Amino acid sequence: MCGIVGYMGNQDATPVIMSGLKMLEYRGYDSAGICTMDSGDIEIRRSSGKLINLERLLKEQPLHGTIGIGHTRWATHGKPTVANAHPHKGGAVVVVHNGIIENYQILRDELSKKGHLFLSETDSEVISHLIDEKLKTAASLEEAVQLALKDLQGAYALCILSQKDEKTLIAAKSGSPMVIGIRGNEFFVASDMPAIISNTREMVVMEDGEMAVFRNGEVKFSTIDGLEITKTSHYIDWSPLKAEKNGYPNFMLKEIYEQPQAIRNVVAGRLRMDEGDVFLEGLNLNDSELNSFERLCLVACGTSWHAALTGKYLIEEYCRIPVDVEIASEFRYRDPLVSKKTLVIPISQSGETADTLAALREARSKDAHIVSICNVVDSSIPRESDGVIYTHAGLEIGVASTKAFTTQLVALYLLTIRLGRANGTIDLIKGREMIAALGELPSLVEKTLELDPQIEEIACECLTSWDAIYLGRGISYPIALEGALKLKEISYIHADGYPAGEMKHGPIALIDREMPVFILAPNDRHLVKVRSNMEEVITRGGRVIAVCSEGDHETSKGAEFTLHIPWAGEALSPVLFTVALQLMAYNFAILKGKDVDQPRNLAKSVTVE
Ligand code: AGP
C-alpha cells in the first residue's frame, strides 16, 4: 500500500509534494522519492528508509520546477532499496505507482528484448518503459499512456511525466485509490485525501478506468480508452485526521472494510486458472522439492497461530500431508523434532515477533527448510527464511489484526492448492474449482460486511456480559478461537473459544443466562453435530448467537440471535465467518467506549519475549 502525490501549478512543486508524502506516512513506507520537471529537465531524488532521509537529500541536492510527482513505497515486489524506490524512469518517462502489476514479468521480458534496461526488481518500473515504448508510435503522451494501460493487468494508481512533454502531468487509476484536488489552475493528485487536504478541499474522486491529463492550467478527464468524461468536484469538510482514516472513525474499521481489496491483492498475479494451479513467487521450491518433505510445521503466535491452525485443516484435508501447528513461544524451548525433511512455515504479520523469529532460528539450527508467510516485505522473518509468501494486505495499523489474518488464510489456501497440485492430491479440475472460488470471495466479504447493523444490535443486547464462549467444529474451531481473541483484546470481555464437541467436557458448567455463546454453524459436514451442541447449550438456559450459513433457517430456530453468512464453500467460509466476528468484537468494543486501535497493554508487534 504505497502513497503517490502529484502537483502541477504555479508553486515550487517540491514542498507541496513533500508535505503530501508526509501526510501519507501512516500508509507505511520503507523508501520514498520525488521527481520534478523544470523547462523539460527531469530530475529525480530517492532514498530508502524514513522520509527524513529524502528531506535531507533534497537539502543537499534541491529540485526545481512547478510540476512534480512523489511516492512513499510499501514494498510488495523487491526489497526496500534506493534502486527499488519510486519514481521509476524508463527512457523519457517517469512514473510513480501504487498497486500490483500482475503481468509485469512478461512485459519486462518483452521490453528487455526491445532494448529497455531495467534497474530495479519492481513491477512498477515496467510501466515507465512500456509508456516510453508506446511513445515511439503514439501521437501524444496521453495516447501512449492509453496504449500502455491496455497491456497492463493488475491494480494501479499512477502519476506520469515525460521529458518529451514538459507541460503535461497524467494521472490514471484502476484498482488503487486516487483523488484529485483542484485550486484554481493548480492541480493535486494523491492516493488519499490527507496528502492534499491542506491545499484544497475541492476534491474529485477518481473511479477505476479513468484518467486525467493536466496541461497549461487545465484538466481533461477521460476513460483510459480515451472517451472524454465529466467529473464533479466535491467540497470535503473532513479534518486531516479523519481523512487519514478515509472517513472511518478508526483504523480498525477502515482495515476491516479494506479486506475485499486486501484479498484481491493477495491473489493478484498468482492464479493460473488454465493449469488449475497457483504461482507463488518467493516460494523457491519446485514440485519434487515440495514433495520431499515428510511433514509441515506451522509456527506462530496469537492471531497468526489461529491462521496456522486453519492451515492445518486445509492442507491435511486437501493434500494429505501431516501438519503440526506450534505456538512459537513453546516450540522454541522444546528441542523440537524437526529436520531437513520438515518444511517449517513461520506465519507473522509483522515479521518481527520475537518468539516466532526465535522459533525460526531453532528450526534452522535443525536444518529444517523454512518458508514464511508474512505481510511486511523484507522484515526479519522473511529475511531469515529460504522462501516467503507475502500476504500483500498493506499496512495494518490497528493493533487487533484483521485484514492481515484473512489474507493469511487466503495465502494458506493458495499454498494448499500449490502443495496439492505438486503431489497430485488436487487434480486439474479441483484446482480450477478452488481458484474459481477465490474469484467470488471479495464480493462475498463485501456482502458479509453488510451485516454490520445487525451485528451492532446483537452487541447492544449482550453488552452487559463479562464472559463469552465461541464454539466451532473442524475448520471453524480456529475461527472460534480468533473470534474470542478479537473480543477480549479490544472490548476486555473475557472470552474463550472451544471445539464445540468439548462443551460437555467442562465448559458447559459455565452456561447461564448471562453469557453469550457464539456458535459457528456453517453448512458443512459438522452442521448436524453443531446443532446438537447448540441444543446442549439451549436446554441449560444459555444465550445462543447462531452464526450460520445463508438459507439455513433450521439452526436459527432455538437461537436468541442469528447471523446468516454467505456461503463460500467449506475451505473459504472461515474468511467470511471471521469478518462477521471481527465486526462483532468491534461493535462490542465501540459500545463499551474502548480504543479499538490501541487496546490497553497491547503492542502491534511483540518484539520482546
Ligand atoms: C492479533 O490481533 C494480535 N495483534 C496478536 O495476537 C498478533 O497476532 C501476534 O502478536 C502475532 O503477531 P505477528 O503476526 O506480527 O507475528
Q: Parallel, antiparallel, or unpaired: how do β-strands 179-183 and 202-205 relate?
A: antiparallel
Q: What is the mean pLDDT of residues 149-175?
A: 95
Digit-coded pLDDT (tens) for 63-115:
999 999 999 987 766 788 999 999 999 999 999 999 889 899 999 999 999 99
Q: What is the DSSP letter of 175?
A: B
User: Which whole-number Å values give the CA distances from 447 to 247, 548, 563, in the listed order?
Assistant: 20, 14, 12
Q: What is the mean pLDDT of residues 586-596?
A: 96
Look at residue 603 and tell me if it is in a domain: no
- At residue 1 the predicted structure's pLDDT band, cuts being 50, 70 and 90, is low
Look at residue 584 and tell me if it is in a domain: yes
Q: How far apart are CA 222 and CA 269, in angstroms?
A: 27
Q: How far apart are CA 558 and CA 530, in angstroms?
A: 13
> Is pLDDT above 80 for 339?
yes
pLDDT score of 25: 74
Residue nearest (by alpha carbon) to ligand 1 atom 6: 302
CA pseudo-torsion sign 497, 313, 353, 603: negative
Q: Is 38 exposed, middle or buried (0-12, 13-18, 19+ CB in 10 A)?
A: middle
Q: What is the mean pLDDT of residues 472-481?
A: 98
Q: How far apart are CA 347 and CA 337, in angstroms?
A: 19
The answer on 478 and 426 residing in a single domain is: no
Q: Is 159 known to be catalytic?
A: no
Q: Residue 185 is part of which domain span?
A: 3-240
State how many domains the chain has: 3
Residue 339 maps to which CATH number? Answer: 3.40.50.10490
Residue 11 maps to which CATH number? Answer: 3.60.20.10
pTM: 0.81
Above pLDDT 90, what percent of the chain? Answer: 84
Look at residue 607 and tell me if it is in a domain: no
pLDDT score of 343: 98
pLDDT score of 341: 97
CA of 318 to the centre of ligand 1 (A): 27
> Is pLDDT above 70 for 327?
yes
Digit-coded pLDDT (tens) for 398-424:
889 999 999 999 999 999 999 999 999
The answer on 436 and 338 residing in a single domain is: yes
Digit-coded pLDDT (tens) for 515-532:
999 999 999 999 999 999
- At residue 386 the predicted structure's pLDDT band, cuts being 50, 70 and 90, is very high
Name the domain boundary from 422, 445, 468: 445
Single out the catalytic residue among 79, 242, 529, 604: 604
Look at residue 606 and tell me if it is in a domain: no
- At residue 128 the predicted structure's pLDDT band, cuts being 50, 70 and 90, is very high
Name the domain boundary from 219, 240, 261: 240
> Is pLDDT above 80 for 298?
yes
pLDDT score of 28: 66
The answer on 466 and 550 residing in a single domain is: yes
**Nearest CA to 327 among 349, 300, 364?**
300
Look at residue 258 and tell me if it is in a domain: yes
Q: How far apart are CA 486 and CA 489, in angstroms?
A: 5
Residue 241: enclosing H or E segment and its boundaries? helix 240-244
Q: Is 50 known to be catalytic?
A: no
The overall average pLDDT reported for the chain is 94
Residue 520: enclosing H or E segment and its boundaries? strand 516-521
pLDDT score of 516: 95
Look at residue 480 and tell me if it is in a domain: yes
Q: How far apart are CA 572 and CA 577, in angstroms?
A: 9
- At residue 454 the predicted structure's pLDDT band, cuts being 50, 70 and 90, is very high
> Is pLDDT above 80 for 604?
no
Query: Pocket of ligand 1, candidates 329, 353, 380, 485: which has the most ligand atoms within 8 Å of its Cβ, to mutate?
Result: 353
The answer on 433 and 297 residing in a single domain is: yes
Look at residue 233 and tell me if it is in a domain: yes
Single out the catalytic residue among 2, 301, 319, 548: 2
Residues with CB under 6 A from ligand 1: 301-304, 348-350, 353, 356, 399-401, 489, 605-606
The answer on 400 and 278 residing in a single domain is: yes
> Is pLDDT above 90 for 239?
no
Name the domain boundary from 445, 464, 498: 445
The answer on 373 and 230 residing in a single domain is: no
CA of 3 to the centre of ligand 1 (A): 25
Digit-coded pLDDT (tens) for 168-209:
999 999 988 899 999 999 999 999 888 998 999 999 999 999
CA of 312 to the centre of ligand 1 (A): 18
The answer on 273 and 320 residing in a single domain is: yes
Look at residue 600 and tell me if it is in a domain: no
pLDDT score of 27: 66
- Tell which atom from ligand 1 comes closest to the C-alpha of 489: 2
The answer on 430 and 288 residing in a single domain is: yes
**Nearest CA to 155 among 269, 66, 259, 251?**
269
pLDDT score of 247: 81
Concatenating the DSSP letter of every residue in 308-353 gives: HHHHHHHHHHHH---EEEEEHHHHTTS-----TTEEEEEEESSS--
Q: What is the mean pLDDT of residues 551-564?
A: 92
The answer on 511 and 481 residing in a single domain is: yes
The answer on 457 and 435 residing in a single domain is: no
The answer on 459 and 439 residing in a single domain is: no
- At residue 26 the predicted structure's pLDDT band, cuts being 50, 70 and 90, is low
The answer on 307 and 429 residing in a single domain is: yes
> Is pLDDT above 80 for 238?
no
Q: How far apart are CA 363 and CA 293, in angstroms?
A: 14
> Is pLDDT above 80 for 21?
yes
Above pLDDT 70, what percent of the chain? Answer: 99
Q: How far apart are CA 500 and CA 526, in angstroms?
A: 10
